Structure 1
């Protein structure tokens, strides 16, 4: 059995993600908070724009954590936790800071999960687009 080493998400990578998401949000005129977590769920980088609503810091972090834990964009999970969804009890069943609102996206390298980015402060679709723009810069 062979093991392929994958370079973990670095602080430099996190700074690229933060800067790219910030540029996308700034171009749209939306003040945001941006969180980048490593594969273990540890904070690598965080930024909150001066005019971003205070709760956006917490929401960006929870979106990143949710995307990391479930290895899926939070935008893809919203319907699964609605009252008639198959995972409707997940948000309250675990004692974890999960948030099922678009804006969190896992980060992969060579097909392996290495971290996640979360953006909060705009409309959910905007936050998702800012996080997606950041991932394109990392590639």
Structure 2
């Protein structure tokens, strides 16, 4: 008979769904429209897999930036707006953008998504100014009620 005690089970958290991703995308589109911004929005699940994407008559690069912002927010579990100063030459993370062979982007507009304190995905918006992109992402999350 074993004398070890089983480890406490980690409570599971419901993963981000495609229906929730669709709601986030619609909320981002409304927030962008209210600011007069044309852009792209990307929603990733906790594993970094694409759950949803939309580009509304925006420049092509906005699709790439929205995806990289979401990926960066997911990988570092931090809004990308909070990372911008950390990658400047005097910043704590200044070598990260060149040290990794991953599509990180340190511009505002990526926000991680949490449920019950656990990371479940990320949303990225690209197409406006960095401040607009962050505001659109944050408003979409607040409106959707996902995180």
Normalising by structure 1, what TM-score?
A: 0.97
Gap regions ≥5 residues in structure 2: 1-7
Contact 1:16 1:137 in 2 (8 A): no
Aligned to 1:26: 33
Aligned to 1:119: 125
Gap regions ≥5 residues in structure 1: none
User: Which residues of 2 match residues 25-64 of structure 1 at below 5 A?
Assistant: 25-50=32-57, 52-64=58-70
Runs of 4+ in 1 over 2 A off after TM superposition: none
* SS of 1:106 mapped into structure 2: strand
The correspondence for 1:105, drawn from 111, 120, 126, is 111
Tell me how far apart the structure 1 counterparts of residues 96 and 10 of structure 2 sit (CA, whole Å). 33
Residue 13 of structure 1, CA deviation:
0.6
Tell me how far apart the structure 1 counterparts of residues 10 and 35 of structure 2 sit (CA, whole Å). 43
Residue 129 of structure 1, CA deviation:
0.4
* SS of 2:69 mapped into structure 1: helix
Residue 53 of structure 1, CA deviation:
1.0
Structure index of larger Rg: 2
Tell me how far apart the structure 1 counterparts of residues 142 and 113 of structure 2 sit (CA, whole Å). 11
Aligned to 1:87: 93
What's the C-alpha RMSD, in Å, of the aligned pairs? 0.6
Residue 137 of structure 1, CA deviation:
2.1
Matched, 1:66 2:53: no
* SS of 2:112 mapped into structure 1: strand
Normalising by structure 2, what TM-score?
A: 0.92
Tell me how far apart the structure 1 counterparts of residues 131 and 143 of structure 2 sit (CA, whole Å). 19
